[in-house]
Structure 1
Amino acid sequence: MDEVRLLCDYASDYLDVNELGDFTPVAFEELLLNIYPRKVIAPPESAAETVAAARTLVDFLLATEEIGGKMAVRMRTVLDRIEPEMPIALADTSRFGMAKSLFSAMGADSLEQDAVLSVSAVQEEPAVEHCECPGCSPLPPVRLAPHETLAASVPRVPLLTDARRLVQWMLAGGRTPTVKGRLRVRDAAEAAAQLAVADPGLLWDLAVHTGLVEVEGTTVFEGEDLDPLEVWAATVEFVVDTDTGGAITGHVSLDEELYGLCDMLYRLQAPVPVPLVGDYLEEIGLAEEGEGGIDVPEAVRRLAYCGIAEPGTETLRLTPLALWGLRELYTDLGIEAPEAADLSAADAPELIEGLLSGMPAEAAEADIEGWLGGRTPARAATELLGSVSGAPAAARGVAVTIVDRLGPEAEEAVRAFLEDSELRPHAIHWLTARGLSAPDLTQQEALWMSVDMLALAMPAAEEDPEAFAENMSASGPASQVIEEMWRVDHPDVVDVLELLGRSLRDRDAAKAARKAAFKARSRAIG
């Protein structure tokens, strides 16, 4: 019944099906092949259950005389045609809506395989204990700027600068608030004109909330000895978790959604193109306001004024101050919000483990540069390669990728790993690429290295199969090479060959990969 209810909800929200009798065959086609793939995170194999629910709904419509017998026949005919097409639609990432794509990127693999989760439910339903949806999944570790840097940035936030100016203006003029501590209408009008601020009422409420000003009855006192970061923590709470009535972004509904929007950006830890922000707001069902809808660029500009977003018109991303403030807010709410360790001072295994945890590219790059900066090239190569001898392909791939940045000064350190069977092909490749003397790769070693690098690429390939298939079409191994890969003694060889069998666009190469995977499985069993 939950599935039937979800179908009815989506039909009402997106297809103007306001009464049960409004259902048509076209509505079912639009629901199951367009709306569902865009809105619902669900594995392709769940399609049969959804189509079955649609058939149950048709039976109900017929039994309650909402539709006639001929209409029921037409609906069932459409559902028969839809049934084999829906799994393909659910698996087609090009059909995903923006919200579904973003939440999938944040950790859709954490969902149970048989779970069917509405993206709108992630936004609208209260969190349930043990919920495993992306919106309720554990927060990722974040890299925070040094406290001294953050504290020095707080006074430069335009919103707080204007709030302080308003407080000084009120005190200098001997002006008093209302008995409820609010800014008087006449003072708000004068402040807007004299201080050239857009919303004095908002600034005053912020000043009171953060302690920049203290109010006792109609008497006001300037806040003293305030910790800048305490003021900023209170500012973030005020901006994203207070009823501001549209004063922050210019739209009431967007102000109400700011916590969810900031939470998404916190989890992504990456800039989002402004046009896609508009798509995201539409996907989560945010009500449009006015004839032109929500002015996303203007909302982003306002968030930059508040110190939440980095200034710019191309992308939306959180400022370092916003990251820190949101983490404080999460902590106050009892939500675990881990801080990412500074890996530049870690040992090699800790560095590799941290890089594999999925940190943002900018933070990873800073850590790698800092880590290499504290070591000679020879020491860096020895520590990195030594820590991944016998390790999984992913760890080995990270180490080899970092070592590839090193110059000829690391030659002797790299050469020492020619005796390691797993690292030998990589060491030979490193030496050869720098014009240094090196043994020739045997055919078996070349095959092993190909499998190893493809194993490293598997997580990204599963996340974006189209991009992987395109890359393989341009630079993938030839059919003759794939046919021989099954002979490689590599723990991931079966998975790699199965991936190639699913991904390669060349039919002969894909067929060769599937045959090789069969041989590799048989070899492993034998």
Structure 2
Amino acid sequence: MSAEPHPTLPPVRLHSDAELARDALVAPLFARAVRLARWAGPRTRVDVGGELVAEQLPQAARALGLDAGDEDSTARASQAWRVAVDTGLVDVTEPEEDGAGAGAADADADTAGTGAHGTAAPGEDLALVTGGAPGDVLDLWLAALDTVLADAAVPDLDGLVDALDAGGEIDFDRLDWNPGREADFLDGVLANLYLLTVAEGGAADAPVPLPVLAASMVVPEDMGEPTDAVLAQVSDAMMRLDDQFRQLEPIGLVEFRPVDEELMAEAADEELAGPGGREASDGPVEPDDEDVSRYGMVRLTPLGLYGVRARMLEAGVDAPAVGDLADKGADVLLDAVSYYPEDSAQAEIEHWLAGRDLPGAVAELLAAARGDDEGGPLRRLRCQQALAPAGPEAEPAVRAVLDDAELGGLARVWLAERGAADIPAPDAGMVFWLTVDTIAAQLAADGETPELPQLMETLTAHHAGFFERAWRVEHPSTAHVLEAMGRLHPDRKAAKEARKAAFKARSRRP
């Protein structure tokens, strides 16, 4: 878990497990793995490692409805088989290594015996595809995702062949490839894509341009104008991501528009142009605003959001989801949603209220909103947000706090907005306390927004000598609020008075 007291990531809105399981079952690669698991039988032969022998790959391709004579089709069949084995959809019995090579050139697999080859059969987990709960299907899909991510972190086959030493082992130094580093890079890319998707004002359902994602991994946060060397690294990262996202799309993790092949050709032409052209590592030219989609676009699918979050949780990252707090107390709810974006906070509150006895839930929320700690104003703001849709059945619980020093102002606002009768007038102390609390909550929620000066002006306009009274308010945020008003209040005279009041408030506190 994160060492921070509150999550550093905004909550994600996930589809239901049933919807996600349906998405998993129709993901092309997972669906092919299921079909091959059903196809596996007594005559299915595997080699060391559980891979299908070469002679059976065309048959596997035909079982998938693919062209058995096409190299890409047999590669897809091989990948689907590997996923089926790794997820437990297929059980394999590998051959003894001493005899692994014997009989490899036997007669056609339709008539040959198993010989020295291993065997395969549908695994027990295959039954979960149709007979298991949605969570069982998602667990299988997550296992498949692990396999695909591991494959995506491996360089292309040509690079591997070139890096083989005399003993047939991969020379990683020669390949300039570190498996752990590559896996961490891909996890980092997916984490950044996740954050861009869930962040308020972020990508949401819109695809992310590949250059933006590549730059997020390469360009230092404190760098102004990127250097040519950094731009070259961004282009290299783009091309790596282009290849990796092509591999990740069939498992249903992302929707991906690859880099335009014409741009790739242009880059190759410039390389052939000699010293006057750009270096090969530069990749495609820098994108312009008019046609950024040509440089690749990617978005996480709903299933992808689920998958990346699951991996982040496994790694110990605090990645909340809307609905996580439905069974928690009101104190936990208000503390957590205080740091959520407003729309996510509202969604979480609605989940929490659903199925609860409303009068009891309102009383619990009001009790949890109390407190003179730093987070108190924001808890009360979220409590007010939670009470906004409540109907007449909430009124007794709200009236019960009319005399409460911290909640009485909130209760009067709620009752007045509903046209309730017999609302006792607040005393001056409660009015000033509520003003400080309201501004403190807005500062904590959104910072110094353009709308805040108008709120300050509205709250102070009807009170002559406001600042002479305000600095005396017994609220932990009084000085902080007055300092903000001194910076932001649109009336210069009022702003000056606010600064003087802030100084007095600071002076009176021990």
The corresponding residue for 1:195 is 66
Alignment of 1:360-399 (within 5 A): 364-391=345-372, 392-399=376-383
1:408 to 384, 388, 392: 392
What's the CA shift for 1:436?
1.4
CA distance in 1, matches of 2:307, 2:341: 16
**Cα distance in 2 for residues equivalent to 1:330 and 1:379:** 33
Residues of 1 paired with 2:438 and 2:211: CA distance? 38
Contact 1:140 1:337 survives alignment (8 Å): no
Aligned pairs (5 A) from 1:113-512: 154-168=24-38, 171=40, 176=45, 181-182=50-51, 191=61, 194-195=65-66, 200=76, 201-215=78-92, 216-217=94-95, 218-226=117-125, 228-245=137-154, 257-264=185-192, 270=198, 272-273=202-203, 274-275=207-208, 278-285=211-218, 287=233, 293-294=238-239, 303=248, 305-309=250-254, 316-317=299-300, 319=302, 323=306, 327=310, 331=314, 335=316, 342-356=324-338, 358=339, 364-391=345-372, 392-437=376-421, 438-462=423-447, 465=448, 468=449, 470-477=450-457, 483-484=467-468, 485-503=470-488, 508-512=493-497
For the residue of structure 2 that corresponds to 1:477, the secondary structure is helix
Distance, in Å, in 2 between the alignment partners of 1:207 and 1:143 is 30
CA contact (8 A) 2:9 2:319 kept: yes
- SS of 1:316's partner is strand
C-alpha deviation, 1:304, in angstroms: 5.2
Instruction: Decide whether aligned partners of structure 1 residues 243 and 311 sit closer, same or farther in structure 2, where only a CA change above 3 A counts.
Output: closer
- Which is greater in Rg? 2
Change (3 A) 1:476 1:311: farther
SS of the aligned residue for 2:218 comes to coil
Asked if the contact 1:486/1:516 (under 8 Å) is kept, the reply is: yes
Residues 177 and 184 in structure 1, CA contact (< 8 A), matched pair in contact too: yes
Q: Aligned equivalents of 2:399 and 2:8: distance in 1? A: 42
Per the alignment, do residues 503 and 317 of structure 1 end up closer, same or farther by CA in structure 2, a change over 3 Å counting? farther
Measure how far apart 1:419 and its partner are.
1.1
- Are residues 359 and 188 of structure 1, via their aligned partners in 2, closer, same or farther at CA, if it must alter by over 3 Å? farther
Q: Deviations over 1:36-65 (max 9, x none)?
A: xxxxxxxxxxxxxxxxxxxxxxxxxxxxxx
Q: Deviations over 1:400-455 (max 9, x none)?
A: 22122212332232122211122121111111111112234455433322211121
Residues 164 and 212 of structure 1 are in contact (CA less than 8 Å); yes or no, is this contact kept in structure 2?
yes
Tell me, yes or no, if the aligned pair for 1:265 and 1:318 is still in contact at 8 Å.
no
For 1:502 and 1:254, how far apart are their aligned partners in 2? Answer: 48
Listed one character per residue, the Cα deviations across residues 178-208 of structure 1 (whole Å, up to 9, x for unaligned) are 6565456786678399427865143233223
CA distance in 1, matches of 2:8, 2:455: 37
Gaps of 5+ in 1: 1-106, 112-133
Q: How far apart are the structure 2 equivalents of 1:316 and 1:443?
A: 53
CA distance in 2, matches of 1:177, 1:288: 41
| Secondary structure, counterpart of 2:411 in structure 1 | helix
Deviations 1:80-125 (A, max 9, x none): xxxxxxxxxxxxxxxxxxxxxxxxxxx9x969xxxxxxxxxxxxxx
Deviation per CA, 1:209-263, whole angstroms, max 9, x where unpaired?
223334424444134211545433322322334455479xxxx999873211233
Task: Specify whether residues 151 and 325 from structure 1 end up closer, same or farther in structure 2 by C-alpha distance, changes over 3 A only.
Answer: farther
For 1:307, the aligned partner's letter is G
Q: Sort the Cα spacing of 1:456 and 1:283 in 2 relative to 1 into closer, same or farther, 3 A.
A: same
- Gap change, CA 1:348 and 1:288, over 3 Å in 2: closer
Q: Distance in 2 between matches of 1:203 and 1:435?
A: 64
TM-score for the superposition, normalised by structure 2: 0.59
Q: Aligned partners of 1:348 and 1:387: how far apart in 2?
A: 6
Unpaired stretches in structure 2, ≥5 consecutive residues: 96-116, 129-136, 157-176, 220-232, 258-292
Q: CA deviation at 1:508?
A: 4.9
1:522/1:414 CA distance change after superposition, 3 Å:
same
Q: 1 or 2 for the larger relative contact order (CA 8 Å, sep ≥6)?
A: 2
What is the one-letter code of the residue matched to 1:275? V
Residue aligned with 2:506, SS? helix
Q: For 2:324 and 2:216, how far apart are their aligned partners in 1?
A: 36
**Partner SS, residue 343 of structure 1:** coil
Evaluate the alpha carbon distance shift between residue 501 and residue 435 of structure 1 in structure 2; reply closer, same or farther with a 3 A threshold: same
Q: Is the 8 A contact 2:90 2:121 kept in 1?
A: yes
Q: Which amino acid aligns with 1:206?
A: V
Q: What is the Cα deviation at residue 345 of structure 1? A: 3.3
- Over 3 Å counting, the alpha-carbon distance change for 1:498 and 1:337 in structure 2 is closer
The one-letter code of the counterpart of 1:165 is: R
Question: Cα RMSD (Å) of the superposition?
Answer: 4.7
- Kindly tell me: are residues 509 and 275 of structure 1, through their superposed partners in 2, closer, same or farther at Cα, counting changes over 3 Å? farther
Distance 1:477 1:301 in 2: 55
AA aligned opposite 2:144? T
Q: Does 1:524 align with 2:500?
A: no
Task: Select the structure that is richer in helix.
Answer: 1
Residues 337, 282 of structure 1: CA spacing in aligned structure 2 closer, same or farther, 3 A cutoff? closer
The amino acid that maps onto 1:205 is: R
Q: Please list, as runs of the form range in 1=range in 2, the aligned pairs for 1:97-116 lying within 5 A after superposition.
A: none
SS, match of residue 455 in structure 1: helix
% same residue = 29
Distance 1:513 1:159, change over 3 A: farther
